[in-house]
Amino acid sequence: MSSKYSITTPRLDIDQNTAQHIVLKILEALSVPSDIAKEVVIHLLESDCSDVESHGVWRIHQYTQYYQSGYLKAQGRPELKQNSKGAWFVDGHGGIGIPAMNMAIRDVVERAKGTGLAAIAIQNAGHTGRLGAYAEYAAAHGCLAVIIGGGGRKDWRLVAPYGGKKALMSTNPYAIGIPGGKEGPVVADFATSAAAAGWVYGAKIAGASLPEGILMDKDGNPSTDPEAYFDGGAILPAGGAKGYALAVAAEMIAEAMLGPVTVECNWLILALDCSLYQAPSKFQDIAEEILLELRECPPAKGFDQVLVPGERESKARKTNQDKPISLPSSTWGEILELAKSLGVSLPPT
Amino acid sequence: MSSKYSITTPRLDIDQNTAQHIVLKILEALSVPSDIAKEVVIHLLESDCSDVESHGVWRIHQYTQYYQSGYLKAQGRPELKQNSKGAWFVDGHGGIGIPAMNMAIRDVVERAKGTGLAAIAIQNAGHTGRLGAYAEYAAAHGCLAVIIGGGGRKDWRLVAPYGGKKALMSTNPYAIGIPGGKEGPVVADFATSAAAAGWVYGAKIAGASLPEGILMDKDGNPSTDPEAYFDGGAILPAGGAKGYALAVAAEMIAEAMLGPVTVECNWLILALDCSLYQAPSKFQDIAEEILLELRECPPAKGFDQVLVPGERESKARKTNQDKPISLPSSTWGEILELAKSLGVSLPPT
């Protein structure tokens, strides 16, 4: 599998079963119940298979730190609830956000398929992994889903507001999933910052630089060095005022409406059954005509082809599903070290 | 009032009543019913008062051309309907989109206040004016509104896909409105292109250049000259892959789901009553705390202050509501010429 980062470290191919086994055992050693651990590992491996390494198995280090510091509750099991107004939400009970988001997207899609339109909030949950995965699920089930996250800026001051030089906001991610053409769903999955925090972490771990226009250092000067960010800098908003405006809207949703934030972010998902307005087969025909035209657009300088959002990931998953995942050797070595330190017995190499 | 454009032409102050009277009479002379004409004029003047000149009264030239060419139906009156699945939509009956969007946002907000959550589509309607106005309405009534438009790319090939060098898409605008702090709603209102087409038109009319990073010429080279766009160039997507992904999602919504597009764009609005999840007073308190922090952020080089999205426009309206509007002399001269050519009797100067 390829990586988004400039590669400056050697890489290893790791059998997926091996990676799954070891990461699962790490989570279990941290007291995460097996079913929740399995959901998390499947999600992380799927991110690696989607060539979204920034949200792949290397995250186990971050999650371990979260569990060990008490920031996340290992036993936190998501629960579907209604508030006093009858509005639905998933209470993550302080656990990792991946099973909370899985529960939320399944519920909101099911209700949208019944009534046409549904909403759900996700509160009191930690890191939710690759947001696109949930948008893909909704789209694969015939729904439009809009997923918006934010809040918790007091603990996650990563991004400067447009026109400002101080990191005050979180990366406030959005994802939109909707059925597409013959190649599957269209998925917009992005941080409203010029890069997701995962990219910056990933670049740091891979020893790589970031493109220009993503970071400023602590004095407000442009930088491509991920270390500049960790040394008091800030990530810039994507598209200037536009990403910033989306981010502020996300803060209103996630903190003013759904707050206070107890763990990392709060989330809102809106889902609409697309068949309310169009028969699925006709939808796919029109979609395919639009997307084919985009795929066939003459590429600009520096590009091989025009891609359809979401198709890179779904194609990568098809190609990679039975192949080993490729990780920086140091990342895999650190995962093995972590496993050992937790008393996980490693398979013979 | 100030303008977004570099000013290279002299400007005139025009009394709002005079502007309203003349633009209303132009629309009536084009056979637009008085009540619809009045909605349109009020909307355009409000855009000028919001310092969003790109969507202000100069648009009357474009609308006149649309009516005279038969692209828009002067008698087209919006109608609220349900499809066979019970989904709500406004049929614009081929008329201007402003009254259609007014009808849609009022309906969807009313239903959201009743049931918590509502959706509406807008089809068969022309130019919808300043999208932020509808998002503000929803927010002022306690709702989150997400407004997404697209489709009609065959007639409106303005924007290149990310990685491509050919204009294939429309500007696919989004707006999100949500209650804010003490200063009123937070509104994200933006084209998913690096600039709205209105900016490019506006810059051309004002004889001004555009900033870098907005246009490419017909050969794929960067350009700041609005004429390069009209000479076969393309607008770039905002934030590269991010704006492009939002745009493709909008095409799926507006054309694959709500299509075919008969006039300009189709639109979807999702509205959620925020009081489902938070009492309005607590919402405002938390919002104000967040927004105050943003307003107080030390400005970056080249900026005076950090603004809250939507507050520039609402403050401008408060300041400008009783003042004359400022227009390029040539724009106002052309409006007077247009009025004369349609037999509108002008007030004495």
Confidence of residue A302 (pLDDT cuts 50, 70, 90): confident
Q: Is the pLDDT of residue A287 over 90?
A: yes
Structure-model confidence comparison of residues A307 and A348, the more confident one: A307
**What mean pLDDT is reported for chain B?**
93
3-state DSSP assignment of residue B331: helix
Residues A212/A230, Cβ–Cβ less than 8 Å: no
Least CB–CB distance from B298: residue in A165, A286, A297:
A165
Residues in chain A closer than 8 A to B276 (CB atoms): 83, 85-87, 119
Q: In 3D, which of B87, B118, B243 has the Cα closest to residue A119?
A: B118
**Closest residue in A to B175 (Cα–Cα):** A246
What residues pair up with B328 in beta bridges, in sequence order?
B11
Domain count, chain A: 1
Residue of A215, A252, A281, A313 for testing the chain B interface, max B β-carbons within 10 Å? A252
Question: What percent of chain B has a predicted confidence (pLDDT) above 90?
Answer: 83
**Closest residue in B to A252 (Cα–Cα):** B287
Q: In 3D, which of A147, A188, A293 has the Cα closest to residue B250?
A: A188
| Region A259-263 average pLDDT | 92
Task: Look at A297 and B160 and tell me if their CB atoms are within 8 Å.
Answer: yes
Confirm or reject contact between B245 and chain A (CB < 8 A). Answer: yes
Structural domain boundaries enclosing B58: 15-193+237-296+335-341
Question: What's residue A150's pLDDT?
Answer: 94
Question: What's residue A175's pLDDT?
Answer: 98
Task: Look at A188 and B300 and tell me if their CB atoms are within 8 Å.
Answer: no
Unique residue bearing structure tokens 């499809």: B83
Task: Look at A190 and B241 and tell me if their CB atoms are within 8 Å.
Answer: yes
| Region A14-27 average pLDDT | 97
Task: Look at B284 and A256 and tell me if their CB atoms are within 8 Å.
Answer: yes
Confirm or reject contact between A262 and chain B (CB < 8 A). Answer: no
In a domain, A307, yes or no: no
Confidence of residue A222 (pLDDT cuts 50, 70, 90): confident
**Closest residue in B to A175 (Cα–Cα):** B246
Least CB–CB distance from A300: residue in B163, B176, B251:
B163
HEC string of A196-235 equals: CHHHHHHHHHHCCCCCCCCEECCCCCEECCHHHHHCCCEE
Q: Is the pLDDT of residue B7 over 80?
A: no
In a domain, A127, yes or no: yes
| Region A290-314 average pLDDT | 94
Question: What's residue B345's pLDDT?
Answer: 87
In a domain, A228, yes or no: no
Question: What's residue B349's pLDDT?
Answer: 61
Q: Is the pLDDT of residue B5 over 70?
A: no
Q: Is the pLDDT of residue A10 over 60?
A: yes
How far is the C-alpha of B99 from the C-alpha of B76, rounded, in Å?
A: 10
How far is the C-alpha of B342 from the C-alpha of B330, rounded, in Å?
A: 18
Residues in chain A closer than 8 A to B117 (CB atoms): 117-119, 270
Q: Is the pLDDT of residue B16 over 90?
A: yes
How far is the C-alpha of B120 from the C-alpha of B100, rounded, in Å?
A: 11
A348 contacts: CB under 8 Å, gap ≥ 6: none
In a domain, A61, yes or no: yes
Question: What's residue A2's pLDDT?
Answer: 39
Question: What's residue B3's pLDDT?
Answer: 43
Q: Which of residues 5-24 of A touch B (CB under 8 A)?
A: none
| Region A87-97 average pLDDT | 98
Residues in chain B closer than 8 A to A188 (CB atoms): 242, 245-246, 248-249
Confirm or reject contact between A293 and chain B (CB < 8 A). Answer: yes
Which tokens belong to B226? 């609005």
Distance of CA B282 to the CA centre of its chain: 31
In a domain, A58, yes or no: yes
Confirm or reject contact between A184 and chain B (CB < 8 A). Answer: no
Residues in chain A closer than 8 A to B305 (CB atoms): 163
Task: Look at B253 and A178 and tell me if their CB atoms are within 8 Å.
Answer: yes
Task: Look at A85 and B248 and tell me if their CB atoms are within 8 Å.
Answer: no
Least confident of A49-53, A79-83, A153-157, B131-135: A153-157
Task: Look at A270 and B275 and tell me if their CB atoms are within 8 Å.
Answer: no
Least confident of A156-160, A299-303, B84-88, B115-119: A299-303
Residue of B166, B183, B248 for testing the chain A interface, max A β-carbons within 10 Å? B248
Q: How far is CA B302 from CA B187, B306, B312, in A?
A: 23, 11, 17
User: Mind telling me how many Å the CA of A199 is from chain B's nearest CA?
Assistant: 15
What residues pair up with B193 in beta bridges, in sequence order?
B237
Task: Look at A255 and B286 and tell me if their CB atoms are within 8 Å.
Answer: yes
Q: Write A229-232 long-range contacts (CB < 8 A, 24+).
A: A229/A200, A230/A204
Residues A63/B253, Cβ–Cβ less than 8 Å: no
Confidence of residue B120 (pLDDT cuts 50, 70, 90): very high
User: Mind telling me how many Å the CA of A4 is from chain B's nearest CA?
Assistant: 14
pLDDT digit string (tens) for B72-89? Answer: 999 999 999 999 999 999
In a domain, B312, yes or no: no
Helix (H) or strand (E) holding B38: helix B34-49
Q: Say how many CB pairs under 8 Å bridge A and B.
A: 246
Distance of CA B38 to the CA centre of its chain: 17
| Region B279-308 average pLDDT | 95
Question: What's residue A199's pLDDT?
Answer: 79
Least confident of A2-16, A26-40, A50-64, A77-91: A2-16
In a domain, B316, yes or no: no
Q: Which of residues 49-108 of B touch A (CB under 8 A)?
A: 83, 85-87, 89
Least CB–CB distance from A299: residue in B163, B283, B291:
B163
Q: Is the pLDDT of residue A268 over 90?
A: yes
Question: What's residue B8's pLDDT?
Answer: 62
Task: Look at B87 and A253 and tell me if their CB atoms are within 8 Å.
Answer: no
How far is the C-alpha of A133 from the C-alpha of A24, rounded, in Å?
A: 20
Unique residue bearing structure tokens 């009970």: A93
Least CB–CB distance from B257: residue in A253, A258, A283:
A283
Task: Look at B257 and A277 and tell me if their CB atoms are within 8 Å.
Answer: yes
Residues in chain A closer than 8 A to B303 (CB atoms): 163-164
**What mean pLDDT is reported for chain A?**
93
Q: In 3D, which of B286, B163, B283, B275 has the Cα closest to residue B216?
A: B163
Least CB–CB distance from A87: residue in B116, B178, B255:
B116
Structure-model confidence comparison of residues A242 and A220, the more confident one: A242
Task: Look at A286 and B241 and tell me if their CB atoms are within 8 Å.
Answer: no
Residue of A153, A157, A189, A242 for testing the chain B interface, max B β-carbons within 10 Å? A242
In a domain, B327, yes or no: no
Unique residue bearing structure tokens 């949200």: A55
Question: What's residue B1's pLDDT?
Answer: 37
Confidence of residue A4 (pLDDT cuts 50, 70, 90): very low
Q: Is the pLDDT of residue A319 over 80?
A: yes
Structure-model confidence comparison of residues B19 and A53, the more confident one: B19
Residue A241, phi then psi, degrees to nearest 5: -65, -25
Least CB–CB distance from A220: residue in B153, B300, B305:
B300
Residues in chain A closer than 8 A to B309 (CB atoms): 241, 244-245, 248-249
Question: What's residue A301's pLDDT?
Answer: 84
DSSP state of B167: -
Confirm or reject contact between B324 and chain A (CB < 8 A). Answer: no
Task: Look at B239 and A194 and tell me if their CB atoms are within 8 Å.
Answer: yes
Residues in chain B closer than 8 A to A117 (CB atoms): 117-119, 270
Q: Taking the CB of residue B335, how many other CB atoms lie within 10 A of it?
A: 21
How far is the C-alpha of A43 from the C-alpha of A49, rounded, in Å?
A: 10
Q: Is the pLDDT of residue B2 over 80?
A: no
For A119-136, the DSSP string reads: EEEEEEE-----THHHHH
Give the CATH number, domain containing residue B110: 3.30.1370.60
| Region A36-44 average pLDDT | 98
User: Mind telling me how many Å the CA of A87 is from chain B's nearest CA?
Assistant: 6
Question: What's residue A1's pLDDT?
Answer: 37
3-state DSSP assignment of residue B147: strand
HEC string of B178-228 equals: EEEECCEEEEEEEECECCCHHHHHHHHHHCCCCCCCCEECCCCCEECCHHH
Q: How far is CA A17 from CA A24, A31, A190, A347, B291, in A?
A: 10, 21, 29, 11, 48
Classify the complex by whether its ipTM is higher than 0.90, answering yes or no.
yes
Question: What's residue A8's pLDDT?
Answer: 62
Q: In 3D, which of A87, A175, A176 has the Cα closest to residue B117?
A: A87
Least confident of B101-110, B149-158, B239-248: B149-158
| Region B142-149 average pLDDT | 98
Residues in chain A closer than 8 A to B292 (CB atoms): none
